[in-house]
Structure 1
Amino acid sequence: MAFKIEIISREVIKPSHPTPEHLRIYKLSFIDQFAPAVYTPLLLFYPANDVVDKSQLLKKSLSETLTHFYPLAGRVKDNSIIKCNDDGAVYLEAHVNCHLTLILENPVADSLKILHPVNNNNQEEDCPVLLIQASFFACKGLAIGIAVSHKVGDSSTVTTFLKAWSAIALGCITEALKPKYVLSALYPPVEFLIKLPPVQQLKKSKSTIRRYVFNASKIAELKAKVASATVPWPTRVEAVLALLWKCAMAASRSKLGTCRPSAMTQMVNIRKRVVPPLPENSFGNFLGHFTAHEEGIRKTDLQHLVVQLRLGLDEYYEKHVKKLQEDAHLALGEAGKEIVNLLTNEDIDHYTCTSWCRFNIYDIDFGWGRPKWVFSFYEAAIDNSFMFLDTNDGEGVEAWLTLSEEDIPFLENNKELLSFASVNPMILISSTGSKILSSRL
C-alpha cells in the first residue's frame, strides 16, 4: 500500500475551563501502577460527507471534554500521580495523498500505523497522556487516531472518553457519560520498589500480524459447533478464541514436530463483577485476566477448549475478584507472578487475548455519521497475542493475530480456520451503508 502523509499542524489543546486547585493532583490506583507504560491506540475511519470544518469542531469539543476528563490533559509522575496542570493534549492534523478506499480495500497493520499520533508506543515520563491525530484524505474522508496512556485507563476508559467527546460535539452530553473518579480511593497507590520492565522486552522473535474476519453467519455456525452440555451457549468471543487457539497450537506443533503445553490468557473488564458493581464510566484501569490451560493433547477438541475458557473465567470471577476486594496487593501480586512465569517459561506456548467487542465503538458519531471501520493495534505487542474488535455491523469479530513468522504459513493453510474466517477482506463503503466483503479467502 503506497501512500504519503504530511503533518500540517501540531497544537496543544487545553481544558476549556482551568482544573480547580483541589484536583491538580490525581492519584493513580494500585491497579494503574501495574499497567504497562504504553499507549492504548484506536483508529476510527469516517467516509467523506458535507460537514465542512471538522477540525475546528473536534478541537473545540475536545477542549470542553478535557474539562471533565482533566487527567488526560496532565502528565504522569513517578508511576504514582498525574499532575493535572492543564498541560494539554496533543492534537495533530495531517493530509493523506490518497482516497480512503485505498486503505480499506487492503488493510495492513504496518501501513496504518502512520495514521496514529505516536510512533514509539512506549510512554516515557512527562509525555502527554492523550494524543489525537486527525488525518484528512484526498476524498475528504477522515481517520481519527487516539492514543491514551495505559497508566490512566483501559479500553473501557478510552471508549467512555470517546463517547463523551462525540456527545459534546453533538451538544448532548449526559451525566452517564462523565467519568467517575472512584478507583484510586478504592485501591490507593503504593510506593513501588521495583521498576516494571518495558513491554518490548517480552518480544522474543520476529513476528507478523494477520487479520481474520468472522461474519455473523459463520459465527453462528461456529457457536453451534463448539456448544456442549457444559457450555450450551458459548459467546462469540469464546467460539472464535477457541478456534484461533486451536489453530495456533496446531501451527506450533507442526513447526516443532512435538506437542507442547499451551495456555491462553484473556483480559476481562471487571467493573460489573465486584460487589457492589462499579459504573462503566469509572475512570482508570479495572482489568483482570484469567488463564486457561491445555496440556499438550495432540488432537484438541474445540468444545473442550471452550469449556476450558469458561472454567477459567468462572474460577477467576469466583476466587480472584473476591480476593481483589479483600486484599488487592496480594491478588495483583499473585496474578503478576503467574503472568511472568508464563511469559518466561520456555516449555509452554503462551497466548494472550484482548477484546474490544461490545464496547459499541461504532456508535461514536461526531456529527458526520458512524465510523465505517475501527482498528486497534499495539506497537509493542508481545508474541502470540490476539486483538478482537467488532465488525461494523456489530455482530461479527475482527481478529488481529501477532504470531511468529514461522507459524503464519501453517495458519494460512488451516482448512478449518478458512472455513469460518475470511483473510483480510476489503471494507466496502457505499451510499446505503458499509459492510465487510467476505468473499476473498
Structure 2
Amino acid sequence: MRRVHDRSVVDCNDAGAEFIEARVQAPLSDALQEPIVEQLKHFTVDTAAGALPGAALVTVKVTFFDCGGIAIGVCVSHKLADGTSIMTFLNAWAAACRGEAEFLRFSLDLANYFPPREFLDYSAVFRKLKSNEKKITTKRFVFDKEKLEALKQVATSSSGSNVKNPTRVEVVSAFIWKHFIDMAKSENPEGKKTFAASHAVSLRGRTSPPLDLENVFGNCFMSTTAFSQN
C-alpha cells in the first residue's frame, strides 16, 4: 500500500506490509518492569514515513529476547484504521496462528454507513504539526484501582459537582487536565489562555438508530473537544 495526494488518499497496490525481525541481548522482564515510552518505541517501526509514495502503511516488528520471550510491535497508519479495528485484526491474526478455525472476521463495508465525502486539504496542518514535533512530550501515567476509586470520590464529593458516577476515563482526564491548567496558570497568573482537551470516541455501539458497526474495519470514530478559559 502507499499513501498519495497530500496524505489524504490511500492507494492499494498489494505491496504488503513491512516485516522486521530483531534480537535483544537482555531478558523480556527488563522491558516490562518499568516501561518507558521512549524505549518502547524501539519495539515498533513508525509508519510516519507512509506519507511518502511507496512507504509501508503497516509495519510489524518481532523482537526476540535472550530468555525466549518475544515482543511483537505493530504500527498501522491511522489513514487505514482506528484502534478498535487494529485490535480486531491482531486478535484474528493471533487466532489464525493458533490454528483456530473460527475467529472474528471484520467487514470492509464502512463506506456503506459513512460514504466518502469531499475532503479538505490538511497538508498545511500536517506541516504545522511536523514543525512543532520537538515541543510534543509523551508521558505514561499508571493509576491503580485504589487511586481510581479515590479520584471518583473526590469528583463526586466536590461542592457544585453534578457528576454522580463518572467513568474511569472521565476522572483521569479531568484530573490530568485540571493539574495541567493549574500548572500553566502558576507560570503566567495574569495571562489569558484557552485550554482544550480532546478525546477520540468510537461510534461503535453509540449510533441511533443502532448500526452493526462492531466488526467494521476502518476509522469509525469522532473527536470530541472541551474548552476552558481562565
Tell me which interval the TM-score lies in, with the shorter structure as reference length: 0.7 to 0.9
Aligned to 1:91: 19
Give 3-state SS (helix, strand or coil) of 1:171's partner.
coil
Correspondent of 2:150 among 208, 216, 221: 221
Unaligned runs of 5+ in 2: none
Identity score, percent? 33
The CA RMSD over aligned residues, in Å, is: 2.4
* AA in 2 matched with 1:103: A
| Deviations, residues 27-50 of structure 1 (Å, cap 9, x unaligned) | xxxxxxxxxxxxxxxxxxxxxxxx
| Deviations, residues 391-425 of structure 1 (Å, cap 9, x unaligned) | xxxxxxxxxxxxxxxxxxxxxxxxxxxxxxxxxxx
Give, in angstroms, the shift of residue 220 of structure 1: 1.0
Q: Is the 8 A contact 2:203 2:222 kept in 1?
A: yes
Correspondent of 1:187 among 102, 109, 114: 114
Correspondent of 2:59 among 131, 136, 144: 131
Distance 1:75 1:278, change over 3 A: farther
Aligned to 1:403: none
Distance 1:136 1:172, change over 3 A: same
How many residues are matched? 220
Give, in angstroms, the shift of residue 109 of structure 1: 1.9
Distance 2:80 2:100 in 1: 25
Aligned to 1:242: 174
Correspondent of 1:111 among 22, 34, 39: 39
Q: Is the 8 A contact 2:22 2:61 kept in 1?
A: yes
Distance 1:107 1:92, change over 3 A: same
Q: Is the 8 A contact 1:99 1:137 kept in 2?
A: yes
Q: Is the 8 A contact 1:80 1:190 kept in 2?
A: no
Using CA pairs under 8 Å that are at least 6 residues apart, name the structure with larger relative contact order, 1 or 2: 1
Give, in angstroms, the shift of residue 81 of structure 1: 4.7
1:272 maps onto 2:205 in alignment: yes
Distance 1:198 1:130 in 2: 23
Q: Is the 8 A contact 1:122 1:198 kept in 2?
A: no
Unaligned runs of 5+ in 1: 1-73, 297-441
Q: Give 1 or 2: higher strand fraction.
A: 1
Aligned to 1:287: 221
* AA in 2 matched with 1:163: N
1:255 maps onto 2:182 in alignment: no
1:151 maps onto 2:79 in alignment: yes
* AA in 1 matched with 2:214: E
Distance 2:172 2:118 in 1: 40
Q: Is the 8 A contact 1:164 1:173 kept in 2?
A: no
* AA in 2 matched with 1:269: S
